[in-house]
């Protein structure tokens, strides 16, 4: 199966409502899609880099240039997903760009063989429980209304974004309004320092599942110190970019839970390695989200069906973020999403919708 060419396609996807975190607010997504074409099949991958380097050092323009200039020329001629990682390894970083390319190759290969991504990865479930991530709001009443809507929709877990000045009060309000039975966690996106430990310990009173990435992404040692000062389990997100990072964090005691985002770690093969390592170490994992379209969401749902993913992920329904998705929408049913069973990622873009949202497309022949 020879790769005949790769398409880089940019699409503009407005969000149904602005999504605010400690590092910024998004009202639309500038999404880079990668399409790998072979004589037998084509495959899709979604790059989760943001428009600006706020979540990580990667950003969508940079990812496109990296793919165009370095990664696609280095791609092996044959569509062997296992060979993609080693071929791209000489180029430092740029895991989101690498993940998009590897996923597109993997999707093409699996479509040609008729195998689903879930089966290839080792999924053991036909559906996965879904949580939802709730951004920082202008007021507590606005937050309570938003959470009430997601609870009514059936989401089994609520995650609140927090930052200094928006933490204890909103968490307390949500817990008091919805009771102790609501699965509740918080995500700081590295907004605090170890000097905030006593303040963060106030969150212990609310029975949270976890506090996600409270400190800087490159500070495992401080996370280990903080973990000994809090009753709430620490989960790492931005700090974990590889299985090696996960092993280091676990051995240091920097976390007891890991958020696995395939784009952040370089793709679904590395995500599976992290899953396997954490499962062997007795560390829970769950699948994070980056406001993906149906293309990225389909692959994430397949990953979340692996046995070690024991906590609900941020694999929300399509309408949580997009009024119209580029694939048939993912619909919540009893708090769960069905794992795609078709070949590859199991979904394809709807041509007329894809054309409508496309802002540019570039074909790179091989």
Q: pLDDT tens across 289-341, in order?
A: 999 999 999 999 999 999 999 999 999 999 999 999 999 999 999 999 999 99
Active site residue 261: yes
**Do residues 97 and 103 lie in contact, with contact meaning Cβ atoms separated by under 8 Å?**
no
**Active-site hit among 92, 98, 159, 161:** 161
| Across 102-118, average pLDDT | 97
Active site residue 161: yes
Q: What CATH number matches the domain at 5-114+350-365, 3.40.190.150, 1.20.1250.20, 3.40.50.2300, 3.30.390.10?
A: 3.30.390.10
**Active-site hit among 92, 98, 159, 261:** 261
How many residues are there in the chain? 366
pTM assigned to the model: 0.95
Quick check: 79 pLDDT over 80?
no
State the fold for domain 118-338.
TIM Barrel (3.20.20)
Residue 46: the pLDDT is 98
Quick check: 185 pLDDT over 90?
yes
pLDDT digits (tens, 9 = 90+) for 213-257: 999 999 999 999 999 999 999 999 999 999 999 999 999 999 999
Residue 1: the pLDDT is 80
What does the alpha-carbon distance between residue 344 and residue 114 come to, in Å, rounded to a whole number? 7
High-pLDDT (> 70) share of the chain, %: 100
High-pLDDT (> 90) share of the chain, %: 96
- At 23, the pLDDT band (50, 70, 90 cuts) reads confident
Residue 12: the pLDDT is 97
**Do residues 45 and 104 lie in contact, with contact meaning Cβ atoms separated by under 8 Å?**
yes
| Across 109-132, average pLDDT | 97
**Do residues 266 and 241 lie in contact, with contact meaning Cβ atoms separated by under 8 Å?**
yes
Tell how strand 257-260 and strand 284-287 pair up: parallel
Residue 114: the pLDDT is 97
| Across 264-271, average pLDDT | 98
**Do residues 42 and 36 lie in contact, with contact meaning Cβ atoms separated by under 8 Å?**
yes
Mean of pLDDT over the chain? 96
Q: Which residues of 98-128 are buried (b: 16+ CB within 10 A; e: fewer)?
A: bbbbbbbbbbbbbbbeeebbbebbebebeeb
| Across 158-179, average pLDDT | 97
* Residue 148 or 79, more confident: 148
Residue 24: the pLDDT is 84
Domain boundaries, given as residue ranges, for the chain: 5-114+350-365, 118-338
């Amino acid at each position: 199966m020879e790769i005949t060419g790769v398409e880089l396609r940019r699409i503009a996807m407005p969000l149904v409502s602005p999504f605010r975190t400690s590092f910024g607010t998004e009202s639309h997504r500038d999404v880079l899609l990668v399409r790998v074409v072979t004589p037998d099949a084509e495959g899709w991958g979604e790059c989760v880099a943001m428009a600006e380097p706020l979540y990580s050092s990667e950003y969508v323009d940079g990812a496109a240039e990296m793919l165009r200039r370095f990664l696609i020329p280095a791609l092996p001629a044959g569509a062997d997903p296992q060979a993609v990682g080693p071929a791209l390894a000489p180029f430092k970083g740029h895991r989101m760009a690498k993940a998009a390319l590897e996923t597109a190759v993997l999707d093409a290969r699996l479509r040609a063989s008729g195998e689903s991504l879930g089966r290839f990865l080792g999924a053991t479930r036909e559906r996965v429980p879904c949580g939802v991530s709730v951004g920082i709001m202008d007021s507590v009443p606005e937050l309570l209304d938003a959470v009430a809507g997601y609870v009514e929709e059936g989401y089994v877990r609520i995650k609140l974004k927090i930052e200094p000045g928006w933490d204890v009060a909103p968490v307390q309000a949500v817990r008091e309004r919805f009771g102790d039975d609501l699965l509740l966690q918080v995500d700081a996106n590295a907004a605090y320092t170890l000097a905030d430990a006593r303040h963060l310990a106030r969150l212990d009173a609310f029975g949270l599942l976890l506090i996600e990435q409270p400190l800087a992404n490159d500070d495992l040692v401080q996370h280990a110190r903080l973990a000994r000062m809090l009753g709430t389990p620490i989960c790492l997100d931005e700090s974990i970019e590889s299985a090696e990072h996960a092993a280091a964090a676990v051995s240091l005691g920097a976390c007891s839970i890991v958020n696995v985002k395939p784009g952040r770690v370089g793709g679904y093969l590395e995500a599976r390695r992290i899953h396997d390592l954490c499962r062997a170490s007795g560390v829970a994992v769950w699948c994070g989200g980056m406001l993906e379209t149906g293309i990225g969401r389909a692959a994430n749902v397949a990953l979340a069906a692996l046995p070690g993913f024991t906590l609900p992920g941020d694999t929300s329904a399509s309408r949580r973020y997009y009024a119209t998705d580029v694939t048939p929408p993912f619909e919540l049913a009893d708090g769960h999403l069905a794992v795609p069973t078709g070949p590859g990622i199991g979904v394809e873009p709807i041509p007329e919708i894809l054309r409508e949202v496309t802002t540019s497309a570039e074909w790179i022949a091989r």
